[in-house]
Amino acid sequence: MITKGSVWDVSKRILLVTDFYNQDQVLEYRDAIKSLDLNINDCELLFFTNKENNGMTKELASVNYLSSKDLGFFGKIKNEAFLKLMKRRFDLMIVIGEIDKRFLKKIERFKFEFGVGVNSQISFININLKMNSKDPLELVNFTKKTLQKLQ
């Protein structure tokens, strides 16, 4: 990143990655992104699940899903929306929680300037943070506050 300022301040296009638990969680993460004065249209949320159509709603803008059914036998991705998302470049990728190895290999191929893992240990990420909360707003705020300290 050429622009001066903290990592957070120069990050406009953000990809947030986590496991899918339920639709309420999706809405909470979406609201958390909006509460940080980020343009939700410049941000993407990516949820992984091992269950087929686990209550996922595909109609929300900036929300993407990848399930185990979207992966072919040899790991080939059959989800067109995910393939399109992989072509985008992001200023910041935030990975929350431990991600299944099959999915982790896929997100490693995303183009991003800076990567943050929260409650995860990911080798291709720039910094891994730990926090006891599971609340989406608290996790995203914690990430923001930490990144505002990094130049």
For residue 98, give the nearest of 129, 119, 83 by alpha carbon. Answer: 119
φ/ψ of 107, rounded to 5, equals: -75, -20
17 pLDDT tier (thresholds 50, 70, 90): very high
The pTM for the full model equals 0.90
- Say what angle helices 23-35 and 136-147 make with each other, to 10 degrees: 30
1 pLDDT tier (thresholds 50, 70, 90): very low
CA angle 115, 44, 61 (to 5 degrees): 175
91-141 confidence digits (pLDDT tens): 999 999 999 888 898 999 999 999 999 999 899 999 999 999 999 999 999
Tokens (6 digits) for 15: 């990809």
Of all residues in the chain, what percent carry a pLDDT higher than 90? 56
β-bridge partners, 114:
92
Whether the Cβ atoms of residue 64 and residue 57 lie closer than 8 Å to each other: no
DSSP 84: H
96 or 71: which leads in pLDDT: 96
